[in-house]
Chain A
């Protein structure tokens, strides 16, 4: 049934007579006979005027997108640069970028869960378990390091599937299931680490190099930046061509070029910066790769569409024939898998698996990063790129305050205030969206 052409069918049955059809009982039917453009339709003007017009309309309607975060980031960077001219140095920014990757990887996973309108509190503990598995297997038992990494990641996926099973199949609230997970996997990590508590990781090994390897050849950073820009341009250009061929509104070439230019600025800028210090860090490449892949998964595949649908309305998804249980379990598995990957980055960063891994403020930072980046806590709205922006804000604050010698208590308070500001902006913009009918 689904293989046939569903939409062309109704056309065949003669679209002609409906135009003259005016029902005496329903005067409103006569409305259809007038082919005039409905003033309520959103028609975008061509060219720059249309672009500015749409921007204004979106701002008025409270559709702020990533704008508050970007502005916030600029403000934060300006303040810290004003306080200490070393803040925007290539060395400091490279360190910020590498520190971002651990929290960022975990945030990618939790964004999947947040899109469902659920929460995963276990990600911190799961990341600790992952680090412990690798350390115990590779260091204590001398297993091949690649195998140990594979075991940690598969372990993460299994843990997530267990959470998903209790949430989706049994129907327990995700909050309670993952809170149990937080405690259980914390205990499991301590058990795995055993009595000595800390296992140092070979800093020249695969995990060790994860956050310490740099592509010192300047060509790598520039080459990857060029590849990204060219790929984006080609994809946008071909898409515009296809839409044009299908007779649908498409992005004009000027806009495609402008967007590509903006992307070039955002890729070559950091590339120049990294190359002034030690080169492009491997951790950053892996993080960006994860962002591109997950963004593609969410926006261009049926699975991603189903995740958004579940975040919008579970009942509607079920009626549309979506396998709700399967999607939910998969999402929790993805969340824990990325928590495990993030755990490897953290283990690499401190060159050890220890008892405090995955504890403390990690979980809060992960959730804060996702939310600051623009992911809605109510489900159905967000992108994995939010993880990048959010974690950039959090780590920038940490490093900026550390440069000033300001102690951890103040860091927590400032990060808390930033998170509150973001949530307030989000709530206010949502209210505006409601009044503008675009919630």
Chain B
């Protein structure tokens, strides 16, 4: 089902990042191919956000190499990442509540004719894009404030698609969403994969990870702690990689509840 090309779209080789006295990332390796959803998991403080920010150009790396389609590149600022074709959708949505859907989709890259906003063309393309991604919203001309959390998240993701990125990074896209809204966002992630985009999905939710990801990359204390194929890995294995031991809070709790059940 998943087409995996020869050279990975993005590869991190021995990436390290230090903030003052804190070694946030140490020798991290990561590979993402096009048409692949890689879930990035790890406990709080494991370095997920830092890793994503180094890829997005918010924090430049200290050591190591970032390879884009097989050749090393320097990502020093967010613009570099955008120019390569990396789009990032952050957890706290970067949308303006008072502006309508069309305005938000094109914020910062408005279409103009003779210096005047071309509302007709922007609305036409917005409808086209939303239809393509099967995103349902009440109207493209209502303010973002009127939309539900899931609808906002899908608009934010749709907005990242306007620049035709090869790699989309989603930072906890389902964190604050309900059951159906989560399903909508996961659907969208699968559609991105079908279109051949590479997706990095940060999530704490194992059900989401199992549902859409092809591979799970585990970070622990700023280091790699295993890359698993989702298809043949159990949830317990992933959790033990996250916590760093087979004897951890989750397994102890499982044991307790199974004892109590007896």
B98, B126, B163, B211: most-surrounded residue (chain A CB, <10 A): B98
Report A-chain residues with C-beta under 8 Å of the C-beta of B90. 319
Report A-chain residues with C-beta under 8 Å of the C-beta of B110. 302, 305
A26 touches B136 (CB 8 A): no
Tell me if A42 is interfacial: C-beta within 8 Å of chain B.
yes
A312 touches B98 (CB 8 A): yes
Closest to B162 in A: A6
Tell me if B55 is interfacial: C-beta within 8 Å of chain A.
no
With beta carbons under 8 angstroms apart, the residue of B96, B97, B117, B120 that contacts A302 is B117
Interface code A1-44, partner B: CB below 8 Å = 1, 0 otherwise? Answer: 11010111111011101110101011111001000001011100
Distance, CA A248 to CA B143, complexed state (A): 19
Closest to B191 in A: A18
Distance, CA A309 to CA B108, complexed state (A): 9
Give the shortest distance, in Å, between B139 (CB) and chain A (any CB).
5
Closest to A32 in B: B134
A42 touches B108 (CB 8 A): no
Tell me if A308 is interfacial: C-beta within 8 Å of chain B.
yes
Tell me if A400 is interfacial: C-beta within 8 Å of chain B.
no
A7 touches B125 (CB 8 A): yes
A438 touches B120 (CB 8 A): no
A41 touches B99 (CB 8 A): no
Report A-chain residues with C-beta under 8 Å of the C-beta of B133. 10
Give the shortest distance, in Å, between B14 (CB) and chain A (any CB).
29
With beta carbons under 8 angstroms apart, the residue of B94, B109, B146 that contacts A319 is B94
Tell me if A242 is interfacial: C-beta within 8 Å of chain B.
yes
Tell me if A315 is interfacial: C-beta within 8 Å of chain B.
yes
Distance, CA A301 to CA B90, complexed state (A): 27
Distance, CA A322 to CA B99, complexed state (A): 15
With beta carbons under 8 angstroms apart, the residue of A4, A23, A41, A300 that contacts B136 is A41
B180 touches A23 (CB 8 A): no
Q: B181-189, B233-241, B247-255: which lies at the A interface? A: B181-189
Report B-chain residues with C-beta under 8 Å of the C-beta of A21. 190-191, 194
Tell me if B261 is interfacial: C-beta within 8 Å of chain A.
no
With beta carbons under 8 angstroms apart, the residue of A15, A40, A313 that contacts B97 is A313
Tell me if B23 is interfacial: C-beta within 8 Å of chain A.
no
B96 touches A242 (CB 8 A): no
Tell me if B195 is interfacial: C-beta within 8 Å of chain A.
yes
A311 touches B98 (CB 8 A): yes
With beta carbons under 8 angstroms apart, the residue of A25, A32, A313 that contacts B95 is A313
Report A-chain residues with C-beta under 8 Å of the C-beta of B42. none
Tell me if A407 is interfacial: C-beta within 8 Å of chain B.
no
Report A-chain residues with C-beta under 8 Å of the C-beta of B127. 248
Q: How large is the interface on A (under 10, 10 to 19, 20 to 34, 35 or more residues)?
A: 35 or more
Tell me if B115 is interfacial: C-beta within 8 Å of chain A.
yes
Tell me if A278 is interfacial: C-beta within 8 Å of chain B.
no
Distance, CA A248 to CA B141, complexed state (A): 12
Report A-chain residues with C-beta under 8 Å of the C-beta of B125. 6-8
B161 touches A10 (CB 8 A): yes
With beta carbons under 8 angstroms apart, the residue of B98, B109, B112, B116 that contacts A381 is B98
B184 touches A28 (CB 8 A): yes
Tell me if A380 is interfacial: C-beta within 8 Å of chain B.
yes
B146 touches A437 (CB 8 A): yes
B-side interface residues, number (CB < 8 Å): 57
Report A-chain residues with C-beta under 8 Å of the C-beta of B94. 313, 315-316, 319-320
B129 touches A313 (CB 8 A): no
Report A-chain residues with C-beta under 8 Å of the C-beta of B98. 308, 311-312, 379-381
Tell me if A321 is interfacial: C-beta within 8 Å of chain B.
yes
Tell me if B172 is interfacial: C-beta within 8 Å of chain A.
no
Tell me if A67 is interfacial: C-beta within 8 Å of chain B.
no
A7 touches B162 (CB 8 A): yes
Which B109-162 residues have a C-beta within 8 angstroms of A? 109-110, 112, 115-117, 119-121, 123-129, 131-134, 136, 138-139, 142-143, 145-146, 161-162
Tell me if A432 is interfacial: C-beta within 8 Å of chain B.
no
Tell me if A439 is interfacial: C-beta within 8 Å of chain B.
yes
Tell me if A246 is interfacial: C-beta within 8 Å of chain B.
yes
- Contacts A1-B83, A41-B136, A438-B142 given; does A312 touch B97 at CB 8 Å: yes
A10 touches B132 (CB 8 A): yes
Give the shortest distance, in Å, between A12 (CB) and chain B (any CB).
10
Distance, CA A189 to CA B168, complexed state (A): 57
Distance, CA A40 to CA B184, complexed state (A): 15
Distance, CA A6 to CA B103, complexed state (A): 15
Give the shortest distance, in Å, between A9 (CB) and chain B (any CB).
4
Report B-chain residues with C-beta under 8 Å of the C-beta of A7. 125-126, 128-129, 162
B191 touches A313 (CB 8 A): no
Tell me if B27 is interfacial: C-beta within 8 Å of chain A.
no
Give the shortest distance, in Å, between A312 (CB) and chain B (any CB).
3
Tell me if A276 is interfacial: C-beta within 8 Å of chain B.
no
B132 touches A6 (CB 8 A): no
- Contacts A15-B132, A312-B98, A316-B94 given; does A248 touch B123 at CB 8 Å: yes
B164 touches A32 (CB 8 A): no
Tell me if A415 is interfacial: C-beta within 8 Å of chain B.
no
List the 10 closest pairs (A to B, CB-CB), nearest first: A312-B96, A320-B108, A28-B183, A7-B125, A380-B98, A312-B98, A321-B108, A320-B107, A319-B94, A316-B94
Residues of A participating in the B interface, judged by any CB pair closer than 8 Å:
1-2, 4, 6-11, 13-15, 17-19, 21, 23, 25-29, 32, 38, 40-42, 239, 242-243, 246-248, 300-302, 305, 308-309, 311-313, 315-317, 319-322, 379-381, 437-439
Known: A26-B211, A380-B98. 5 other contacts (CB 8 A): A15-B132, A28-B184, A248-B123, A316-B94, A320-B94
Supply 7 A–B pairs (Cβ within 8 Å), ascending by A.
Answer: A6-B164, A15-B131, A42-B139, A42-B142, A246-B121, A309-B99, A437-B146
